[in-house]
Each structure stands twice: as structure tokens, then as C-alpha cells.
Amino acid sequence: METLGVGLIGTGFMGKCHALAWTMVRPVFAEQPVPRLIHLAEVSADLAARRAAEFGFARSSGDWRALLSDPEVEVVSVTAPNALHPEMAIAALEAGKHVWCEKPMATGLADAERMRDAARASGRVAILGYNYVQNPAVRHMGNLLTAGAIGTVNHVRVEMDEDFMADPDAPFHWKSEASSGYGALDDFAVHPLSLLSVMVGLPERVITLQAKPYADRPLPGGGRRPVETWDIASALLEFAGGVSGVLAVNRSAWGRKGRIAIQIFGSGGTIAYDQERMNETQLFTLDGDAADRGFRTILSAPVHQPYDRFVPAPGHGLGFNDLKAIECHELLSRIAGRPARIIDFETGLEIERVVHAMARSHEERRWVDVPSVA
């Protein structure tokens, strides 16, 4: 039986998602090799040992470099905070491992370029954790667009909102440190941009405003620390062919829990979707009598592959962790040399270029062209 040795760096929110995906992928996708959970790394040997026991990894370490020296590890999940992605992903590629790195790619464009270059030089597969593109509903939206269901696309509006930073007294988090990046731009905007990249392409020009709802946050030991990142960003987007767009992201949006809303407007209809109702696609077309027209809800079902691999019945719904299992399946397909729906380090870098252009636009208070990727 074919197998693949897995290493996991980081065991927080995303680390657990990757561990679950590695555990689920083979029962769901029988054509894939059996992942062998070999080595897990965390900030301390104690925490690593505890998580290895919980997640079912054979070995653990308080030093992620020890994981990369483990010859049985063939693919590495990088789920540590943003600032560590370049060093970890590049070292893993140089050690001959395939890489599944969480988004954003890096906090600086030069680092993202180095990651892309390392992936090219290694000949290994390197992908980013843009799980939302894996939703069968999102794939179906892409199929509807390709089939011309809403005519010619002329405008898009994308949003991502959550409220985990809405409380002004929520404790200071690594996501409020400048070392984590810009804030909502590279934490959130990259997700709707990943969706645009697979459906209508990425913008060529942007103008952006970032905002900081709270100046400081409490520290666990007392006192407050200034917030160094922007939790809100709004942008106007210009695409090739005269398509226009709006992007709005907010990490301090009370009441929004996991909203990634996308609306695509065309000459003959509209497609709309929200990740908070991730098994539903809204479609408006000009079919039938004008008096009877309205949005219809397409509920995800086995016909929207690979939903069928999880559940044989329509309407039962997939969840967030299922998207991660699909992403893992696509990674394994690419490693095996088969066509795969992935955001690799090449496309990832294009997304980074948009985000950095947005940040520059904010700084310079003007429209900025997104540089093309060399």
C-alpha cells in the first residue's frame, strides 16, 4: 500500500485542521496514499509531545528543524504564525519535502518571492491553505460562470467579516503585532482574492483605505499595548476588460462569524454566496416570466463533486474541516502528478502582489497598479 510521511509544524487552530485533514483524506479519497503521521513540532517539547499523543503522530519535537531532518517526513504542513512561514517553508523545500503552508504566504513581498523561487528550485509541490476555493459550491459557481449562466461578468463585490477582534477589550494577540503583517489585508483579504483568482481573475489596479478601530488592547499581565495592525480594509478594484469590483474586510465586525460573501454581477444574472451558509449558492437568471423571477438557492448535493465523496445524500452539508480534507486530497493529487485545484506558490505570489499593492495604495493615498509576476 502506498504511503506518505507527514510532518506538522504548529498545532493551534490550523494545526488541528491539518491533522484532521491528514487523518480523513484517505478514508474519503480512496485513490490517495495512506498518510503516516510521523513527526510533529511545537514551541516546546512538552506541548509537542502532548499534541502528538492527541493527534496520533509517532514522534514530536520542540524544534521544527528536527522535524525537517527526519528522513521519513515527505510532506510538511506549516501552520505556525505568518512571520515564520518563509523560513519554515523554504527550509522544508530545501530539505526535499513537499509543503502545505497556511496563508498568507509571508508578511513581506520579498519573502513571498523567495518562497516561490525555493518552490521552483526544489521541484517539490508547494501549496497554500486557501481552503475556501475547495468548496464544491464555489466550484459550481465557477462552472456556472464558464457556462455563461449570468452572461458577461461586469462587477464583483467581495467581503470577509468576523468578530474575533470586535471587543475593544479582547487581549492583545499576535495578529495585532506588526510582525504578523498589515492586518485584515493579509489575514482576510487574501481569502476573497483566492476566490476571485479561480472565478474571475485578480485585479490589475487598486485603491485602498485601511482602518484601526481600537488603538490599544489589554495585555494578560496588566496594562495595554498599542495595536500595530489594521483590522479593517476597504478597496476598489479594477480588472482587465473593464470589470470593476469592491472588497471590504473587517476583523472587528460584531455579529459576523465567518462571512466570506461574494457577489458576481453579469449581463444576464447574478451569483451570490456566503461562507456562513457554505452549502448554498444563490443564482438569479433571466429565465421565465419577469413576474416570477428571483434568486434561487442551489443546495450542495452529490452532483457538486467532491461532495459525493463525503455524503451520498443531498442537503446534509459539508463543513469547514471537509474543505481542508479536499485541499489535502488536491495536494496529494498534485504530488502524484495529476491535475489538481490548488493555489500553489506561483498563484499565491500573485495574491500577495495584490495585497501589497493595496497596502501601498493606502500609504500613498492613490490608485496603484498591481505589478505583474515575473
Site of interaction with ligand NAD (CB under 6 A): 9-15, 41-43, 64, 79-82, 84, 102-103, 129, 131, 187
Q: Are strands 59-61 and 126-128 parallel, antiparallel or unpaired?
A: unpaired
Comparing CB distances to ligand NAD, the nearer of 101 and 207 is 101
Comparing CB distances to ligand NAD, the nearer of 14 and 138 is 14
Minimum CB distance to ligand NAD, residue 197 (Å):
15
Minimum CB distance to ligand NAD, residue 41 (Å):
5
Minimum CB distance to ligand NAD, residue 199 (Å):
18
Minimum CB distance to ligand NAD, residue 56 (Å):
17
Minimum CB distance to ligand NAD, residue 373 (Å):
21
Comparing CB distances to ligand NAD, the nearer of 243 and 247 is 247
Residue with the CB atom nearest ligand NAD in the bound state:
12
Comparing CB distances to ligand NAD, the nearer of 42 and 231 is 42
Comparing CB distances to ligand NAD, the nearer of 76 and 368 is 76
Comparing CB distances to ligand NAD, the nearer of 12 and 96 is 12
Comparing CB distances to ligand NAD, the nearer of 187 and 350 is 187
